[in-house]
Amino acid sequence: MAHESLPGNRIRVWYRPMRPRDSAEGHRVSTPLELLFDLCFVVAVGQAAAQLHHALSEGHLGHGVLSFAMVFFAIWWGWLNFSWFASAFDTDDVPYRLATLVQIAGGLTVAAGVDKAFEGDFTIVVIGYVLMRLAAVTQWLRAARQAPEARPTAYFYAAGITLCQILWIVRLALPGTSGLIGFFVLVVLELAVPVLAERRSGTAWHPHHIAERYGLFTLIVLGETVLSATNAVKEGIAEGEHTGELVSLAAAGLVLVFSMWWLYFDQPGHARLERGNSLRTALSWGYGHYLIFGSAAAVGAGLELAVGFDSGQAHVSGVVTALAVTIPVAVFLLSVWLLHIGPTNECRPIAIGFPAAAVLVLAASFGPAPIHVTAVLAAVLVGVTVIATHGEREPG
């Protein structure tokens, strides 16, 4: 193990064997490199949300939603694979850091290609995606060489990921509908790689670490939502008209985001992972966050659309504007319910409250002040959750 002494008796490790980390390791927290990874990837999330808003405001609803879902998959899947690998094999030495920085560069390349992707040209997105995925392959090959107990799984990951990247490049040559079908086929193949690989011998991911990683990404996506909505309100107020409506909308949006944060973090994610303690639980929880991350980002685009509607700039109806917020909020509530609460949760008020609130949120789309009503419903659900789960006095 090569190293160099630093002031304060710290040791900088240049290289250490890549072995599985202890899944029960104490005080396992996200590293500065992981935080940098998240920070750079939120740039891509912001680009995707901005393009979704633009498409919706121009009335291109189906195209905008489909393009957002496709681009967001590239962002989310790259982030997910890095996070789970890091939970199991993070050595934090120089080769590991360099490979991670290449993955970050790939993520930023994806961000640079979002605009073109919404126009139908996924070339830049695929280049960035393949770059970060092949950098992940080098990590798996290193794990295969240096961790004999994980060798079959690591080689399967490396081979499966490489095959998928070749097929992503080939897909660029497919026209129209064939390319769209090819996209969904490749998504299924990508999702199948961890399922098949982990059945050989599971990697040693850390429940608390994984829950923290997902929580941090949820935070920065919600932060991007706040930023998008704030900028939209700022632009609207600068025009000097509709100030009262925009301030009211900003307040409702803030309550909504605060409520989404509260509801997600009220139940610790690691508890669900530890209770399930199975590959099926890990996969459903990990994969299911595509809906949580994507819906949280889409709420920001919907709030921007609402600002444009109140300012007279959006070319869509009031119902469409409302649905641009209420649908992602409903998806967020249902996803958090399924992943963190569960339909059979012994606390019936919240087990029933989440799906009931989602239905009421969708219904609010067709009534007066739909976004304000949605914010109130989310806040009420927070109140129900607080009372149902923390209302009893602790003994003593």
**Six-digit token string for 132:** 């970060």
pLDDT of residue 9: 43
| Location of each CATH 1.20.1410 domain in the chain | 207-390
Nearest to 137 by CA among 182, 99, 83: 99
Q: Which fold has domain 207-390?
A: I/LWEQ domain (1.20.1410)
**Six-digit token string for 277:** 């303690």
pLDDT of residue 275: 63
Question: What secondary structure does DSSP assign to 238-269, as a single string?
Answer: HTTSSHHHHHHHHHHHHHHHHHHHHHHHHS-H
Tell whether pTM > 0.75.
Answer: yes
Amino acid (1-letter code) at residue 138: T
Burial category of 215 from C-beta neighbours within 10 Å (exposed 0-12, middle 13-18, buried 19 and up) = middle
Q: Long-range contacts made by residues 341-347, C-beta under 8 angstroms, separation at least 24?
A: 341/267, 342/272, 347/388, 347/389
Residues lower than pLDDT 50 in the chain: 1, 3-10, 392-396
pLDDT per residue as tens digits for the range 325-355: 999 999 999 999 999 887 777 787 888 999 9
